[in-house]
Amino acid sequence: MADQPELTIQGWGPPPSGGSTDAAGPPALEEALPKAARRHLAKELGWTPRHTPPVPVADIRLTPPRLPEATLAALTALLGEDNVRTDREARLLRAGGKSYLDLLRRRAGDASDAPDAVVLPGTTEETAALLALCSEHDVVVVPFGGGTSVVGGLAGVDPDDRPAVALDLRRMASVQAIDVPSSMVTVGPGMRGPQLEAALAAEGLTFGHLPQSWEFATLGGYAATRSSGQASTGVGRFDDLVAGLTLATPSGVLEVGHPPASAAGPDLLGLALGSEGTLGVITELTLRVRPKPATTSYEGWSFRTWAAGLAALQRLARHDLLPDVVRLSDVDETRANLLMSAGTGARLLRGMLRGRGHGEGCLLVVGWEGLPDIVRARTRAASSLLRAGGGIRLGHQVGESWRKHRFGAPYTRDTLLDSGLMVETLETAASWSALPTVYDAVGRALRASLTAGGRRPLVMTHLSHGYPTGASLYFTVLADRDDELPIQQWLGAKRAATDALLAAGGTLTHHHAVGADHRPWLDREIGALGVEVLRAVKARLDPKGICNPGVLLPD
């Protein structure tokens, strides 16, 4: 594990390959953004760049650990001394996730939400024993994979304010079996995507789940949060790719899922997926893999308007012709993306778009993967529909450029946070019919909430995953940060956007999960009786309520 990159305590960290030479901090604004992009932002937001670095890590405040001696002794007896840690660094590194609110707190020097200890079980049996022990000792357990949650999934908040441990999954991070004929692999939950892909490559296989957090997030985390990745339109959401899993709970161990499919009653696998640590800890996963694609082809298209782009994608969806990767940016995101791309290529592209009347157009990135003949037939059929819908093909360079920068945004965020900006994202999904209304309502709500005293937000949106029945929308919001009340500034905007998207028919979250941030709205999503059903399941598996009590279920 030693050679894997780690997230920093106060941000995503410096990018792995260059940019800044100072390993202690992100690149400066001048390095991260071309001049045109900086000017555009300053004008759009009413913002003047300023240096707002985080407090030094040494100054971050931590509450003294609260685990009673007897509990600590029992944990050590179970796991061994090396696997129970109470040192400052171990606790700081498991304090919350990487949402804007998390980063605001850590940057301001507040880690009062850090766990009292970090425990590292090595097997399903040890995890089950640990949960029983914590149940007995009234200790809250927060599973910790990659620490990449952006919805407060690692809040560790307990209504009874009991001591809490972070259950780090990194000791359960190996490939346990590969069943090549059945295209399945069994892995530990602490494994990350890059490790898995390396193990599969030796067999000519790939998993293909590629969210923006891919370098750091764990497979167990994907399962617990119903993640989706950039190629999920083609390969499926993470929950579609789980064939089975083992869930250790305070009441015992559940093994759920029976590949390839079963009609033996309600789907318990679907109950474990998305449970966000509230029912127990996922200790093993069997995942569906596939042969490494013989062909991959990424390309860019342009549409004159967002509405035209949406209509064209809806037609692809209807005819089962959606590409494996599909991302349609609105006018604001397209403009920002073009400004971010410096160099001759970008200048030529801008010229070409202007020349064809798409100067203020919407960029579409599509990616195709698979057998050459099939990819060819699908691309041809889809291209003809895109063209009929007013699309202009921009070629492979645009697609490859997106691919190259696909994991970049969270690194850039650090730089923007250091420059006096608020930066956050939110996402939803809706049916094709409801999508335009959801898009309008969220943009309007964010702008209304964040426009004040000369400040104006920039709201950039893309459609990020397509389905036969609808698609997801991903919103990126930038604004001049209110340094007096930065948390309130964002909470107000988030509340307005969430109310708006639910009212318009969107779902509370398409792939970031509920966490602490969305739980006040869960009953609007699934109804009061739906919440009661989840509570009944939790009461059976976790009667003392020690499993991640701060997330998912409303207070």
Query: 296-335: which residues touch its own copies (CB under 8 A)?
Result: 314, 317-321
Joined together, the tokens standing for residue 444 give 């309007």
Is 543 among the residues that bind its own copies (CB under 8 A)?
no
423, 413 Cβ separation under 8 angstroms: yes
Is 246 among the residues that bind its own copies (CB under 8 A)?
no
In whole angstroms, what is the distance from residue 314 CA to residue 125 CA?
47
Provide the residue type at 70 as one letter: A
| Region 416-445 residues binding its own copies, contact defined as CB under 8 A | 429-434
- C-alpha triplet 236, 241, 247: angle, nearest 5°: 140
Which position among 18, 64, 159, 266 is part of the footprint of its own copies (CB under 8 A)? 266
* Least distance between its own copies and beta carbon 50 (Å): 36
Q: Which is nearer to its own copies, 58 or 529 (CB)?
A: 529
Write phi, then psi, for 159 (nearest 5 degrees).
Answer: -60, -30
- C-alpha triplet 505, 508, 513: angle, nearest 5°: 150
* Least distance between its own copies and beta carbon 260 (Å): 4
Write phi, then psi, for 188 (nearest 5 degrees).
Answer: -80, 155
Establish how many alpha carbons lie within 13 A of residue 287's alpha carbon, considering only the half-sphere containing its beta carbon. 31
Q: Binding segment for its own copies among 16-24, 107-115, 269-277, 454-462 (CB under 8 A)?
A: 269-277
**How many other β-carbons are positioned within 10 Å of the β-carbon of residue 522?**
19
Q: Which is nearer to its own copies, 253 or 448 (CB)?
A: 253
Helix axes 331-340, 344-355, angle to 10 degrees: 140
| Region 449-468 residues binding its own copies, contact defined as CB under 8 A | 465, 467-468
| Region 141-180 residues binding its own copies, contact defined as CB under 8 A | 179
* Least distance between its own copies and beta carbon 424 (Å): 17
Helix axes 100-107, 486-503, angle to 10 degrees: 170
| Region 475-514 residues binding its own copies, contact defined as CB under 8 A | 507-514
131, 140 Cβ separation under 8 angstroms: no
Helix axes 69-79, 124-137, angle to 10 degrees: 170
Does an H or E element contain 488, and which? helix 486-503
**How many other β-carbons are positioned within 10 Å of the β-carbon of residue 291?**
14
Instruction: Mention every residue, 6+ apart, whose C-beta is less than 8 A from residue 173.
Output: 1, 187, 188, 189, 190, 191, 192, 195, 218
* Least distance between its own copies and beta carbon 97 (Å): 15
Distances (CA, A) of 140 to 135, 519, 542: 8, 18, 11
363, 302 Cβ separation under 8 angstroms: yes
Is 260 among the residues that bind its own copies (CB under 8 A)?
yes
Binding mask 350-379 for its own copies (x = CB under 8 A): --------------------xx-xx-xxx-
Is 259 among the residues that bind its own copies (CB under 8 A)?
yes
Q: Which is nearer to its own copies, 94 or 288 (CB)?
A: 288
* Least distance between its own copies and beta carbon 55 (Å): 33
How many residues sit in the footprint of its own copies (CB under 8 A)?
95
Q: Binding segment for its own copies among 168-176, 350-358, 486-494, 524-532 (CB under 8 A)?
A: 524-532
Q: Which is nearer to its own copies, 2 or 529 (CB)?
A: 529
Residue in this structure with the two tokens 């029912």, named with its chain if needed: 279
* Least distance between its own copies and beta carbon 408 (Å): 23
Q: Which is nearer to its own copies, 43 or 380 (CB)?
A: 380
Which position among 274, 389, 457, 486 is part of the footprint of its own copies (CB under 8 A)? 274
Provide the residue type at 378 as one letter: R
In whole angstroms, what is the distance from residue 407 CA to residue 85 CA?
31
Joined together, the tokens standing for residue 442 give 């969220």
Provide the residue type at 316 as one letter: L
Which position among 158, 239, 418, 542 is part of the footprint of its own copies (CB under 8 A)? 239
* Least distance between its own copies and beta carbon 124 (Å): 13
* Least distance between its own copies and beta carbon 400 (Å): 24
Q: Which is nearer to its own copies, 218 or 225 (CB)?
A: 225
* Least distance between its own copies and beta carbon 139 (Å): 22
Nearest to 234 by CA among 124, 116, 367, 67: 367
Which position among 32, 196, 346, 541 is part of the footprint of its own copies (CB under 8 A)? 541
446, 456 Cβ separation under 8 angstroms: no
Which position among 270, 359, 390, 420 is part of the footprint of its own copies (CB under 8 A)? 270
| Region 58-117 residues binding its own copies, contact defined as CB under 8 A | none
Which position among 182, 345, 354, 483 is part of the footprint of its own copies (CB under 8 A)? 182
Q: Binding segment for its own copies among 13-21, 57-65, 263-271, 491-499 (CB under 8 A)?
A: 263-271
Is 198 among the residues that bind its own copies (CB under 8 A)?
no
Is 243 among the residues that bind its own copies (CB under 8 A)?
yes
Q: Which is nearer to its own copies, 78 or 271 (CB)?
A: 271
DSSP 3-state of 472: strand
Q: Which is nearer to its own copies, 195 or 227 (CB)?
A: 227
Dihedral sign of CA atoms 331, 335, 341, 344 in order: positive
